[in-house]
Amino acid sequence: MDGIFNINKPSGTTSFSAVARVRRLVNEPKAGHGGTLDPLANGVLPVFLGQATRLAEYLMEYPKTYRANVELGVVTDSYDAEGTVTNRGDVSGITQDAVAEALGRFRGEILQKPPVFSALKRQGQPLYKLARQGQIVEIDSRPASIYRLELIVFEPPYLTLDVECSKGTYIRSLAHDMGAALGCGAHLKGLIRTAYGPFDIKDSITLEYLEECILRGTWNELVQPMDTVLSLWGKALLSDEQVELVRHGAGLELEVGEGVARLRAYDKSSNFVALLRFDAVSCLWNPQKVFHQPQTAPENRPNP
């Protein structure tokens, strides 16, 4: 099976365990997710199957959208509700105008420090393991892009925010830093990923619904094409001869508009064939990744 499920990961479940359940349900050994969600968070978790796993890296080119619940006045070591409280602050003087002013500091290109309790690695060890061992780890600030940051609900000490951001952005760090800017401290109370590139929570499915569809034999219609994550790429239709050349690793001469450096290629039956990149030296479009048929879900029902 080659395709993508738009899974709505439940809170309290790791991304790894969600993928493992999908793998078991559809009987597909090759599966992976397109961007980790913290166990506390729920929402959009694209799960790539079969040959689609080779395209998961391109999902990171898209922005992510979150609905974040923030509690003011309470700071935790993990920057979220699962951590240990390290400080408390007074929120009585926090106004909606003050919050709006603070949010303005975090729009656009920013620098932020990832939480100590994160999956980032230091000398091969995840930071959260080092933190649990009591080791003090210095973390450098990293660039992040906040495209949209809106206050949706103001009910002190709780705030609800909508955030659209780039890869590598930590919403936990955003909540923590915003609390510091307000002078009262804060942590992330809850988080929902509402969209990730072409995948929206309105179109997502729960693991329970996937299992029901498998039992009914209607699960095939839930699989999205694996080239769904390539909408930012140009498109080329190849002749039969060109398809054969690509499958043997040969470059192609193609007439393509200026400024295009990468293409998703299809055969005359609209089957997805390959990813092509332009080589300025040879002036050829060389195959970067080649995909083989079949690329659709099999007719037989998997074993749940």
Residue 295 lies in a domain: no
pLDDT for res 292 = 87
Mean pLDDT, the chain, rounded, equals: 90
pLDDT for res 70 = 98
Question: Is the same domain home to 108 and 179?
Answer: yes
pLDDT for res 258 = 82
Q: What percent of the chain has pLDDT over 90?
A: 79
pLDDT exceeds cutoff 80 at 302 = no
Question: Is the same domain home to 75 and 159?
Answer: yes
Question: Is the same domain home to 163 and 282?
Answer: no
What CATH number does the domain containing 273 carry? 2.30.130.10
Residue 97 lies in a domain: yes
Question: Is the same domain home to 127 and 86?
Answer: yes
Annotated active-site residue 38? The verdict is yes
Measured CA to CA in angstroms, residue 193 lies from 8, 63, 115, 150, 214 at distances of: 9, 11, 18, 15, 25
Q: Of the listed 2, 38, 80, 267, which one is catalytic?
A: 38
Please, which pLDDT band fits residue 99 given cuts at 50, 70 and 90? very high
Tens digit of each residue's pLDDT (9 = 90 or more) over 149-191: 999 999 999 999 999 999 989 999 999 999 999 999 999 999 9
Tens digit of each residue's pLDDT (9 = 90 or more) over 201-234: 999 999 999 999 999 999 989 999 999 999 999 9
pTM of the complete model: 0.89
Question: Is the same domain home to 164 and 76?
Answer: yes
Question: Is the same domain home to 183 and 71?
Answer: yes
pLDDT for res 136 = 59
Residue (of 195, 145, 150, 151) closest to 165 by Cα position = 145
Question: Is the same domain home to 163 and 55?
Answer: no
**Mean pLDDT of the region 60-68:** 97
pLDDT for res 115 = 80
Residue 303 lies in a domain: no
Residue 257: which domain range? Answer: 233-290
Question: Is the same domain home to 95 and 37?
Answer: no
Residue 300 lies in a domain: no
pLDDT for res 113 = 86
Question: Is the same domain home to 125 and 168?
Answer: yes
Q: Report the range of poorest mean pLDDT among 64-73, 98-107, 130-139, 278-287.
A: 130-139
Total domains in the fold of the chain: 3
Question: Is the same domain home to 94 and 182?
Answer: yes
Residue 299 lies in a domain: no
User: Is the distance from CB of 176 to CB of 269 less than 8 angstroms?
Assistant: no
Question: Is the same domain home to 138 and 251?
Answer: no
pLDDT for res 295 = 47
pLDDT for res 43 = 97
